[in-house]
Structure 1
Amino acid sequence: MLVLEYKVKAKKLQYLAIEEAIRTTQFIRNKCLRYWMDVPKEAKIDRFALNKYSTELRNEFKFVANLNSMAVQSSAERAWLAISRFYENCKRKVSGKKGYPRFQHDNRSVEYKTSGWKLNPTKRRISITDKKGIGELKLLGKWDIQSHSFKSIKRVRLVRRADGYYCQFCIDVEASNIQPLTGNEIGFDVGIESFYTDSNGHQERSPKFLRKAEKSVKHAQRRIYKKKKGSSGRKKARSIFARKHLRISRQRIEHALKLARRVVKSNDLIAYENLQVRNLLRNHCLAKSIADASWYLFRQWIEYFAGKFGKLAVAVAPHYTSQKCSSCGVIVKKSLSTRTHVCSCGCKLHRDENAAINILNLAKQASLGHKQSNAVGLVASTLLGESLLEQVTR
């Protein structure tokens, strides 16, 4: 699955029409969620029941009927995605909160399936053909959507971001590019001091995008509260603040993407820790630095490129990788402030390099038993390998 994204250029009335379609999508999702909550426990509600209920909403509300029928159905599917995830977490007995579905207040996209839109065969323009009044939109971007068959386009999505509106195409194509084997193997230990340290001793500098822009971000945030509530000045200040965070998010994605592609392309086996980042974020002293490092985003891109290039990506348990000696296997207790691993066998390494070697050794053992991680991509606005419906809800 491939996702191509374009910036949308349109008139002010068209932007307002897109906003109306987005609000309608949110309304349908929340109504379907309320319908699921109100039915008796004995009644069985599934995806088909919610699709049927969305048809009833079209008959009841004119503004819902103005939205394309498949876009209405897609909105109901968003509600079912939240419900099914809750059921799955309960079934697997996930510890803590199970993710009970909540009403949405900040929806930013509307999704069409195979109808409700028409692509210009020569120019980069798309026409939304429902009764919301969106009309023809100009697409700005470097991708060549005309090179793909119209039948391969499974979803079209209009997205609102801090810097404008975007159009995304979900295309059903095989995105594989098998690379020749290099014979190299590498293990990673991610950290805050450096972005990662590999088993070869290389330390990648941490970009710290949020830390560098923090002064500017805080200044933009303070300006919001100096403006009167509901005023155009406050709205403008919020827009400036949102664009700053959007820029940081894009910098993180671009950094992780380039780094992961380079690493996977030059190695046959890539080993990394199977960290539960959301648990690490509970440490209020390190939460900001951990979030700024974006370790999980880096892992997602590694798994995606490993699947695309035909390489092996293995996630191993992080237990005792920092304490265990990579040379003799003896446990050497050390605190977080101790940055050098010194063992009685004579091994003296940087703490993170020692951990990276241990991670690589564990991955080699796991790969012999064919315990390969799922080498697929996930999360980002244009990240490949994830279903478009799942991307919409994130």
Structure 2
Amino acid sequence: MNVQILSTKLITPSPPTPHHLQNLKVSWIDQFYPPRNFVPLIFYYPSNGDDQNNVERSKQLQKSLSETLTIFYPLAGRYIDDNLILDCNDKRVEYVEAQVNGCLSQLLEGGELETELRNHLAPHPVQPYHRPLVLIQFNMFESGGVAIGVCVTHRVADAYTIFAFINAWATACKLGIDKIEHTPSFQLSSFFPSRETISCPNPVIGDNQKIVMKRFVFTGAALSKLKAVARAGVNGSRQPTRLEVVTAVIWKTLTMVARGNDGRLRPSILSHPINLRGKTAMPIPNNSCGNFATLALSHFTADKESKVQLHDFVDRVHNGIKKKVADCAKVSSDDELFRMATKIGMETTEAFIKGKVDFYIFKSVCRMPIYEANFGWGKPGWFSGCNTGVEMVFLIDTKDGDGIEAWLSLEENRMILFQENPDIKAFTGQGP
């Protein structure tokens, strides 16, 4: 299987963005995300047997995308670093049509080769400082079925914003632009004005590291067993959540892999994103788009060999998230949130630079509407991310909503050790 690019177009908002909306200051929360940090996502749509051809589908996608960009107008702009603004002057988004010489079913059921192919189904910016903020790739499979790859720069959008945009676009394509029920607000910078002193380094990747990505599936039944194991050691009657037990078993396994390489337990920090909408004491609209999230940190101190049971890691994850949510509920001003974010930034940056503490990045879109994007030919049959070349764990719901898929990006040798761990083999079905 290979992917052939057929055409590349630039899609403009229609009608144009009004003049008074064309200069949008970014917030200081946006500034914490490197401009070159893009989020690639892929939605897969198996053939449903209808008569509509892909040429017509592509035309509908382009027309509805143009209309949707009038509502999500900052996404059609360009980021200007020197001025800390988004130039919302309808500079357009990139739309690519591609042909895949194979069947979508092969891709969904295949192995390592198809895993690498998947990375070509979402566009990747070559010159991120000059490219559009949003890139879209419409992939047509020769035996039916399509895949839509979307790549958005993190500097202007968090997960909530990205899925709000994609689902609004899907609604416009299927039902019409007037059927979009929830319009976005882009006023976060009025609550959190940009600051000149912020810098955010990119994660450092070793020169000789090869980062591979694999999927590990925790079914609903497997999660029930994991919860039972974790609950046996948890104080009180608290029932661990799906997210807690999956995060805990992966973190525990990564800790064991690190011990195998280093000969001793190593301290580590784990980060989980927290959506701040509805979680602070500030009057922020829940439909605010941009970046409005923070990180919950959990710590492993490596001081006791006995504290490496699953329930120990579940407690650490639970306590880290619980504390962060409680702290955010007290935030009533811009300065309070800034102090909190700065402290997190200093701690995580130090972990990156000094290397004395392992730092594990977890991203989760569980319980987000990833399977609601119906462009007129049904909801997605599947959804995935791509290998971004950074070690991290990306968690998404299985389509039935009961399980969790963990997409793990890890250095090649560590991945070999990780997938052979008894816990991982016992509780996952290793997918393509």
Shorter-chain TM-score: which interval?
under 0.3
Q: Which of the two has greater strand per residue?
A: 2
- Larger % of helix: which? 1
TM-score when normalising by structure 1: 0.26
Structure with the greater alpha carbon radius of gyration: 1
Greater relative contact order (CA < 8 Å, ≥ 6 in sequence): 2
